[in-house]
Amino acid sequence: MEGYLVNPKNTIEILKKHNIRFQKRFGQNFLVDEHVMKKIISAAQITRDDCVLEIGPGIGTMTQFLCEAAGKVLAVEIDRTLIPVLEHTLSEYENVTVICGDILKQDINELSVRYNCGKPFKVVANLPYYITTPIIMGFLEKDAPVESITVMVQKEVAERMQAEPGSKAYGALSLAVAYYAEAYLVANVPKNCFIPRPNVASAVIRLKKYKEPPVKVKDKKHMFSIIRASFSQRRKTLCNGIKNSAELNYKREDVEAVLEKMGIDSDVRGETLTLTQFAQISDMLM
Ligand code: SAM
């Protein structure tokens, strides 16, 4: 085989050689567009000093590029049938370790101690779409040792991650991302850049984790409970959302009093409020 895996001919050749069938349940859509691949690698700003954590290397398409850019690559793949394929396609790289397992069950702190002297990883991946949000929110909320996350996701999820207040895509995910990281849309990616073609359009997004969150709040867990409550029933007002929440214990009058002090209408909906306003509401309710 000539060159990298990232084209339809070489990908199909490897899949046939190893008799691999796509596992839909693992969200397998392999990237076959070199132009998109190079955009991802360049956006990830990888140097030889970095250890990259790749989620779902598949047959090793992106891993080949990561190995050439980074000092070390740690790749976690759930599908055990792909492990022998990776041994073959990555045989010429000495700076890669492949772990067979579920990324959601890995202790990222322990991996960083073992493979990167306790320093943070740069995460780069073409993510399995069925678990995009748990993976990203898990890294952010648990304060995992990760300095940036450059990933292919569903276009709609990328839009939600960087949505502004008042827009249709704005919600709990937008606010969580805004609290933990600076988000930047790297590229939109059409369906024909993958084998097999996914049902949805994709986009590459880069999240650079803040050293300090952009807003100060007494209790971030409390703030995120309020955020979740106000978006759990999208067409309801903030007051009703909080009053009806099983996680919180406030009366309608408590929320109305806070909104009045802030000069906000009592029938306001969560979708128009900024992160700073949610932090204020959270602090004033406590
Ligand atoms: N990186 C390859 C590429 O770009 O062509 C494959 C990307 S494919 C969209 C997603 C990959 O994640 C698949 O290889 C799939 O088996 C793997 N995967 C799915 N769920 C996973 C999980 N929970 N933990 C680790 N890998 C997972």
Bridging pattern class, strands 202-209 and 181-189: antiparallel
Q: Are residues 97 and 33 in the same domain?
A: yes
Cα-to-centroid distance, 153 and ligand 1 (Å): 12
- Which domain range does residue 229 map to? 220-285
Q: Are residues 53 and 134 in the same domain?
A: yes
Q: Are residues 109 and 198 in the same domain?
A: yes
Taking CA atoms only, the protein residue closest to ligand 1 atom 10 is 128
Residue 214 falls within a domain, yes or no?
A: no
From the alpha carbon of 26, which atom of ligand 1 is closest? 19
Residue 185 has which token pair?
């849309």
177 burial level (CB within 10 Å; 0-12, 13-18, 19+): buried
Q: Are residues 58 and 137 in the same domain?
A: yes
Q: Are residues 178 and 228 in the same domain?
A: no
Can you give the pTM of this predicted structure?
0.94
Which protein residues touch ligand 1 with a CB less than 6 Å away? 26-31, 55-58, 61-62, 76-79, 102-104, 126, 128, 131
From the alpha carbon of 11, which atom of ligand 1 is closest? 5
Q: What angle do CA 7, 11, 13 make, to 5 degrees?
A: 125
Q: Are residues 140 and 162 in the same domain?
A: yes
Q: Are residues 164 and 143 in the same domain?
A: yes
Taking CA atoms only, the protein residue closest to ligand 1 atom 20 is 26
Our mutation pick for probing the ligand 1 site, out of 22, 25, 30, counting the most ligand atoms within 8 A of Cβ, is: 30
Could you tell me the CATH number of the domain that includes residue 108? 3.40.50.150
Select from 137, 130, 66, 136 the least CA-distant residue to 98.
66
Residue 2 falls within a domain, yes or no?
A: no
Q: Are residues 159 and 202 in the same domain?
A: yes
pLDDT score at 55 = 98
Q: Are residues 236 and 136 in the same domain?
A: no
Taking CA atoms only, the protein residue closest to ligand 1 atom 14 is 58
Residue 3 falls within a domain, yes or no?
A: no
Q: What is the pLDDT of residues 201-210, one digit of tens each?
A: 999 999 999 9
Paired with 182 in beta bridges are 208
- As averages over each run of 10 residues, the pLDDT of the chain (286 residues) reads 92 96 94 98 98 98 98 98 97 98 98 98 97 94 95 97 94 96 97 96 98 96 94 85 93 95 95 97 96
Q: What is the pLDDT of residues 95-147, one digit of tens each?
A: 999 999 999 999 999 999 999 999 999 999 999 999 999 999 999 989 999 99
Could you tell me the CATH number of the domain that includes residue 241? 1.10.8.100
